[in-house]
Every structure is written in structure tokens, then in C-alpha cells.
């Protein structure tokens, strides 16, 4: 994937993350990272961070990481460091289903956002 294509993937991911209530972005560990209320991380961009993948890492509901990695190991993986806490790695290189990515980002947000912010979301 070219640098320009990677920047486009980052821009799309950024739009999805920042569209959520009280979401913000700042660098963490050298990568763009999205927070709820500037405190809790829900998505981290991973531009070949410790491996050869362009991806993002995100919080995931219980059991989701295992299910997705088992059913589609070419797209999903257990990320380093946060994988032991159930976080999910999602590849952005290759074919990308942005509707699926939107759903994954929203589920990640739901895992960490307080109830009062969840009430601002469109019903599931």
C-alpha cells in the first residue's frame, strides 16, 4: 500500500472516530489515537506499528476478538500489548468494507463510553 493510500485510510478512520460524541484525537505511542472525553482510548491507528500491517486496534465486546480472529484471520488479529485485554486488531490494507469498519468502531466506542454519551448515539 502506498503512503497516499495509507493516509486515505487514516482519514476515513479519523472521520468515523471523531463523529462520535466527545471523541478526540491525539498521538499516543507515536500513532493517532482516539479517546472518549480525552480519557479512555477506544481506537488506535497502527501504521506498521510492530509489524507489517496497516491496521487499527480497538476495544471489543467480550468474545468478539476470538470470534472475528477465528472466522477471518486475514482481516482480524490479536494486537500486541492490548490483545490480552480482548482488544481487536483490524487490517486496513487490502479490500476494506467501510460499513463493517464503522460498526466495529461504534462497538469499540460503546465498550468504553459512559452511559450518558451512549444515550446520544442513534439506536443500534
pTM of the model: 0.93
CA–CA gap between residue 76 and residue 69 (Å, rounded) = 5
**Predicted local distance difference test score (pLDDT) of residue 94:** 83
Q: What is the pLDDT of residues 65-78, one digit of tens each?
A: 999 999 999 999 99
Domain coordinates in residue numbering, the chain: 3-118
Using 70 as the pLDDT threshold, list the residues of the chain that sit under it: 49-50, 122-124
**Predicted local distance difference test score (pLDDT) of residue 36:** 98
* Cβ burial, residue 113 (10 Å; 0-12/13-18/19+): buried
DSSP for 20-58, written as a single string: STTEEEEEETTEEEEEETTTEEEEEEEESSSSS-EEEEE
CATH of 3-118, one of 2.60.40.10, 3.30.565.10, 3.90.1150.30, 3.30.300.30: 3.90.1150.30
Distance of CA 105 to the CA centre of its chain: 5
CA–CA gap between residue 91 and residue 37 (Å, rounded) = 26
Amino acid at each position: 500500500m502506498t503512503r497516499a493510500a495509507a493516509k486515505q485510510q487514516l482519514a476515513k478512520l479519523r472521520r468515523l472516530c471523531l463523529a462520535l460524541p466527545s471523541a478526540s484525537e491525539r498521538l499516543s505511542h507515536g500513532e493517532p489515537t482516539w479517546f472518549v472525553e480525552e480519557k479512555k482510548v477506544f481506537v488506535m491507528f497502527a501504521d506498521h506499528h510492530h509489524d507489517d500491517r496497516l491496521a487499527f486496534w480497538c476495544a471489543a465486546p467480550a468474545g468478539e476478538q476470538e470470534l472475528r480472529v477465528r472466522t477471518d484471520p486475514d482481516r482480524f488479529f490479536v494486537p500486541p500489548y492490548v490483545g490480552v485485554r480482548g482488544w481487536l486488531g483490524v487490517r486496513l490494507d487490502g479490500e476494506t468494507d467501510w460499513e463493517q469498519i464503522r460498526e466495529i468502531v461504534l462497538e469499540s466506542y460503546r465498550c468504553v463510553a459512559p452511559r450518558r454519551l451512549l444515550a446520544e448515539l442513534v439506536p443500534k
